[in-house]
Amino acid sequence: MLGKWFDSFLLPPLGWIQVEVTSHCNAACVYCPRTVYRDIWLNRNLSFSTFERLSSAFGNTKMIFLQGWGEPFLNPELMQMIQVAKDAGCKVGTTTNGMLLNEKIVSQLVKSGMDVLAFSLAGVDENNDALRRGTRMENVLGQIRLLNKIKKYLGKEQPAVHIAYMLLRSRLDDIERLPLLLQGLAVSQVVVSTLDFIPCNSSSHSN
Ligand code: SF4
């Protein structure tokens, strides 16, 4: 207990802490380092015990974001990690490709008090599915509708729906069609990113 207090005292306040809970993924997006480096990529889950050790720093931040290069819902201990972060008084969010969600998991998320659930996209039509191999845009939109339905049923405002949109050079014009695609989905924030790391020349056309 004293150790936790001491750690918090020494650490500067942080706006948020990002934790990569897994480096496994069920997709193979063409621009992703883990796709390009798949032959040498280390696929691992962060253990719950290691996560608990990190939690001594949670008193110094307001937000824990559980995401890195990987699909967070492949870590079977994700729900427990969300609970630890919520119990520490932090807001909690993650980003998903949406392919592993179902009614049971979405209900658990809403009941957990999770604050932000961001869905990844890189296009507004079938080109999204070609770039984000192993995912389907229609499935992502369906999961957002399911989340909104369950939130309404349970009388909850959270988690807020965010979109993590990867803007690629080859699909620049798509961004104009994004507002129409998301209309009626109660999306509260769209974060548009460009590639800040180009893992090989063959993926540079996407930047
Ligand atoms: S879903 Fe994310 S981690 Fe998985 S391949 Fe695509 S960009 Fe990479």
Query: In a structure prediction context, what are the per-residue pLDDT tens digits for the chain, which is 207 residues long?
Result: 445 555 555 667 889 999 999 999 999 999 999 999 999 999 999 999 999 999 999 999 999 999 999 999 999 999 999 999 999 999 999 999 999 999 999 999 999 999 999 999 999 999 999 999 999 999 999 999 999 999 999 999 999 999 999 999 888 999 999 999 999 999 999 999 998 777 665 554 454
C-alpha 196 to ligand 1 mean position (Å) = 15
C-alpha 115 to ligand 1 mean position (Å) = 22
All structural domains of the chain, each given as residue ranges with its CATH number in brackets, are 2-206 (3.20.20.70)
β-strand partners of 64: 17, 92
Atom 8 (ligand 1) nearest CA: 32
pLDDT of residue 207: 47
Pairing verdict, β 17-19 and 63-66: parallel
Report the nearest atom of ligand 1 relative to the CA of 135. 1
Q: pTM of the predicted model, to two decimals? A: 0.92
Report the nearest atom of ligand 1 relative to the CA of 69. 3
Pairing verdict, β 116-121 and 160-166: parallel
